[in-house]
């Protein structure tokens, strides 16, 4: 029996593969969720997204976000620094092809990239083209 839906994830669930026919609905729901997340002081129990470890990491994540835009990724939400104190970035969601830097390299920030596919063969080829080990769920 062949699976009708196959999704492969980075271990941090940062890069889900998603069938093209479900892309609009899922990306909108994910964007709505990302926008609802409370960014702030990690000591505050209401905070859902804390700061990055330091300015260097914040600049690194922002560089990845800008690179993704330059390479043609479509930003759904986020992508900016939050405030001027601390190292906060809005939860960010992209739709991008499997070949972009943002998909190929570890970001370690509040960034998720949805990778659309049309059929099982395409998604298996994309998943197998990674040089990194991936987890997979159906």
* Residues 52, 87 contacting (CB under 8 angstroms): yes
What pLDDT is stored for residue 5 in this prediction?
A: 45
Domain membership of residue 82 (yes or no) is yes
Task: Look up the CATH number of the domain holding residue 59.
Answer: 3.40.309.10
Residue 115: half-sphere exposure toward Cβ, Cα within 13 Å: 26
Mean predicted confidence (pLDDT) in 55-60: 97
Domain membership of residue 98 (yes or no) is yes
Mean predicted confidence (pLDDT) in 49-60: 96
- pTM, rounded to two decimals: 0.81
Domain count, the chain: 1
User: What's the length of the chain?
Assistant: 138
Domain membership of residue 1 (yes or no) is no
Instruction: Compute the mean pLDDT over every residue in the chain, rounded to the nearest whole number.
Output: 86
User: Distances in Å between the alpha carbon of 128 and those of 9, 33, 48, 124, 132?
Assistant: 12, 29, 33, 6, 9
Domain of residue 59, residue span: 7-137
């Amino acid at each position: 029996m062949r699976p009708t839906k196959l999704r492969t994830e980075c271990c941090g669930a940062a890069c889900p593969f998603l069938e093209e026919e479900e892309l609009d609905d899922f990306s909108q729901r994910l964007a709505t969720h990302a926008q609802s997340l409370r960014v702030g002081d990690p000591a505050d129990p209401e905070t859902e997204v804390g700061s990055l470890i330091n300015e260097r990491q914040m600049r690194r994540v922002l560089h990845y976000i800008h690179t993704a835009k330059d390479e043609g990724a479509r930003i759904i939400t986020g992508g900016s620094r939050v405030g001027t104190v601390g190292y906060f970035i809005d939860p960010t969601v992209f739709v991008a092809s499997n070949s972009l830097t943002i998909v190929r390299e570890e970001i370690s920030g509040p960034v998720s990239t949805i990778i659309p596919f049309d059929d099982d063969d395409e998604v298996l080829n994309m998943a197998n083209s990674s040089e990194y080990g991936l987890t997979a769920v159906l």
